[in-house]
């Protein structure tokens, strides 16, 4: 109901003429007028309608006005309904007092002054509408209060549950976790922190973290905390903690906390021990460096040997060829000028020719040593299931990182004649590179497929920090032009080694830059082992 909706006014009198006069007086108010000629009829209408005002005569048969008013007041819905008595008979003060005691709000005597009746009815009608509106507003307010209370209780329950989970993590994780305010005072540290630095949560709380830790650790912590508060964003860094177990390497994610005004109010830091992994990576890089150096030395030695054999063959072949030609020329002249030349002379010339031919064959065999070495390396390239090899690497790398999802796509049973150890090294280097340059984690795609009847395709794509467009041309120009004696391509040892392995297989490696970020390295290899060109003899 609004403040303009009409209300129901019940008029009770046993004389129809009076009811008609009331309708005439109140008709201009625009309210809904209901009439009853007896107390019983009035009670029946009250049960069926919401009545705002009751106008009734005091003197009525069966049930008079006082009795009807008391009956109305007994009903919970009409305990506050406005009841106005109209009477021409009982006009004493005692009658008025009895009327008010029975629940009336006013008592009008006959003859009725229309203006007064309209004014009083209008006032009580407006009061009913406003009271009804107020009740509606109160109920709506109560409903909203109940909803907000329930929401607040649910939020408190979720917050309590979240805090309990955080506490469980803080108690049971091996990571080093601490919470400090903007000035560096410890709010809370976990058991991992206690184990590394030998400082309990009770000892740390309220104290500056920089005074609790060794100078070597505090110095870089101050710098990293300043960076987090200045950039107002999470920062991931590799750092070293000097604790009870000596110096160890950690990777840390430091996240700023903000107050209600949006200003940085503190930092929460979570650090994971990566000492063993870093040592393993360093050892692997050193091993690859040594293998690469050994390979370069071996290739240099082979090249030196081939150069020596070529020079030696040339130097030996020239005099042998001259000697044989001279012997043949001398033999022809002798036989022409002296057909009956001594047998010993003919035998000697024939021996010289035979030995010259034998020396020529021996020189050719010396040159074939290099060719045999190349053919042996080709024989090591056997049919390899590249899909199965990729599946093993995805499983291995997936166990190493929890922040990256490595997805293998492409064709099943992609087979090529390759060195499985070398190609496994190529894919491992590319996956390592993808993980390294996507520090925020995310998806890494490894795609293996048959490009056509002659070539297979391997592609590793990350969605990391990528390479700025202004640096791509310079870096990859050096990368593609790098030779075996120059591994400073600007992209690291792993990619250089991958490049060399692919080249040894007769394949190629290229880099692509997807529009949505990251880098895709594409390796193309021949299905059948590449055939080396025959050596050219001097």
The whole-number average pLDDT for the span 361-370 is 51
Q: 492: which 2 tokens?
A: 């690291």
Q: Confidence class of residue 458 from pLDDT cuts 50, 70 and 90?
A: very high
16 pLDDT above the threshold of 70: yes
What are the structural domains of the chain? 8-137 (3.40.50.2300), 173-273 (3.30.450.20), 278-378 (1.10.287), 382-526 (3.30.565.10)
Quote the pLDDT of residue 212: 86
Task: Scan for tokens 């048969």, then name that residue.
Answer: 61
Q: Tell whether the model's pLDDT for residue 376 goes beyond 80.
A: no
Read off the pLDDT of each residue in 32-52 and give the average, rounded to a whole number. 91
DSSP letter at 489?
Answer: -
Tokens of 365: 């065999």
For the residues of 172-197, what is the DSSP string, one character each? H--SEEEEEETTSBEEEE-HHHHHHH
CB contact set of 31 (below 8 Å; sequence gap of 6+): 6, 7, 8, 9, 52, 121, 125
Sign, CA dihedral 371-374-380-382, equals negative
**How much is the average pLDDT of 345-362?**
63
CA distance 209 to 216: 13
SS3 state at 267: strand
H-helix or E-strand containing 123? helix 114-172
**Averaged pLDDT, 69-88:** 84
Q: What is the pLDDT of residue 313?
A: 58
Tell me what pLDDT residue 54 has: 92
Q: What is the pLDDT of residues 241-250, one digit of tens each?
A: 877 677 788 8
Q: Tell me the C-alpha to C-alpha distance, in Å, between residue 50 and each of 128, 132, 150, 495.
A: 11, 11, 33, 87
**Looking at the chain, how many residues does it have?**
538
Mean pLDDT of 478-490: 46
Widest Cα–Cα separation across the chain:
188
206-222 pLDDT, tens digit per residue, is 999 998 888 878 888 88
pLDDT (mean) for 402-423? 89
- Residue 380's pLDDT band (cuts 50, 70, 90): low
The pTM of the full predicted model, rounded to 2 decimals, is 0.34
Residues of the chain with pLDDT > 70: what percent?
75
Determine the pLDDT at residue 372.
Answer: 41
Q: Are 264 and 229 in contact (CB under 8 A)?
A: yes
- Name the residue with higher pLDDT: 53 or 336: 53
Residue 516's pLDDT is 86
Q: Measured on CA atoms in the order 71, 74, 75, 78, is the torsion positive or negative?
A: positive
Strand order in the sheet with 8-12: 32-36, 8-12, 53-57, 82-87, 106-109
Q: Tell me the average pLDDT of the chain.
A: 80
Q: With bands split at pLDDT 50, 70 and 90, how would you rate the model's confidence at 34? A: very high
b/e map of 237-267 (b: 16 or more CB within 10 Å)? bebebbbeeeebbbbbbbebbeeeeeebebb
pLDDT of 532 reads 43
Task: Using the predicted structure, report yes or no on whether residue 51 has a pLDDT greater than 50.
Answer: yes
């Amino acid at each position: 109901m609004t403040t303009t909706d009409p209300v129901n006014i019940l008029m009770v009198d046993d004389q129809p003429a009076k009811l008609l006069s009331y309708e005439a007086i109140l008709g201009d108010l625009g309210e809904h007028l209901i009439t009853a000629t007896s107390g019983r009829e009035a009670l029946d209408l009250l049960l069926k309608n919401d009545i705002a005002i009751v106008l009734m005569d005091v003197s009525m048969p069966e049930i008079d006005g006082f009795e009807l008013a008391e009956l109305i007041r007994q009903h919970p819905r009409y305990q506050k309904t406005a009841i106005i008595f109209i009477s021409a008979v009982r006009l004493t003060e005692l009658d008025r007092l009895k009327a008010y005691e029975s629940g009336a709000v006013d008592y009008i005597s006959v003859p009725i002054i229309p203006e007064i009746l309209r004014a009083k009815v209008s006032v009580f009608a407006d009061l009913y509408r406003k009271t009804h509106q107020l009740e509606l507003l109160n109920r709506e307010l109560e409903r909203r209060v109940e909803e907000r209370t329930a929401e607040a209780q649910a939020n408190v329950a979720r917050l309590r549950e979240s805090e309990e989970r955080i506490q469980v993590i803080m108690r049971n994780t091996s990571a080093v976790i601490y919470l400090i305010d903007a000035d560096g005072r410890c709010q809370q540290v976990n058991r991992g922190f206690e184990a590394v630095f030998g400082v309990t949560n009770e000892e740390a709380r309220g104290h500056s973290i920089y005074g609790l830790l060794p100078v070597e650790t505090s110095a870089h912590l101050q710098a990293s905390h300043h960076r987090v508060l200045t950039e107002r964003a999470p920062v991931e860094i590799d750092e070293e903690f000097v604790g009870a177990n000596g110096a160890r390497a950690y990777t840390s994610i430091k996240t700023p906390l903000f107050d209600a005004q949006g200003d940085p109010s503190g930092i929460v830091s979570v650090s994971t021990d990566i000492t063993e992994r870093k040592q393993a990576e360093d050892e692997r890089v050193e091993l690859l460096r040594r293998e690469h150096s050994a390979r370069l030395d071996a290739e240099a030695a082979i090249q030196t040997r081939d150069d020596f054999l070529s020079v030696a063959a040339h130097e030996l072949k020239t005099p042998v060829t001259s000697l044989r030609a001279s012997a043949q020329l001398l033999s022809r002249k002798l036989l022409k000028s002296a057909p009956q030349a001594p047998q010993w002379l003919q035998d000697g010339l024939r021996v010289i020719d035979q030995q010259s031919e034998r020396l020529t064959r021996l020189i050719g065999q010396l040159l074939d040593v290099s060719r045999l070495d190349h053919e042996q390396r080709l024989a090591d390239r056997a049919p390899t299931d590249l899909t199965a090899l990729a599946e093993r690497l995805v499983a291995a790398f997936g166990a190493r990182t929890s922040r990256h999802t490595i997805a293998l796509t492409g064709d099943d049973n992609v087979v090529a004649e390759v060195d499985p150890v070398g190609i496994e090294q190529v894919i491992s280097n590319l996956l390592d590179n993808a993980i390294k340059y996507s520090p925020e984690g995310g998806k890494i795609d490894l795609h293996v497929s048959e490009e056509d009847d002659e070539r297979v395709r391997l592609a590793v794509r990350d969605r990391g920090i990528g390479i700025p467009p202004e640096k791509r041309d310079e870096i990859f120009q050096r990368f593609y032009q790098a030779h075996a004696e120059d591994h400073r391509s600007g992209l690291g040892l792993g990619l250089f080694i991958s490049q060399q392995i692919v080249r040894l297989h007769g394949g190629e490696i290229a880099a692509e830059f997807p529009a949505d970020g990251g880098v895709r390295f594409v390796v193309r290899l021949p299905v059948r082992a590449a055939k080396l060109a025959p050596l050219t003899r001097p």
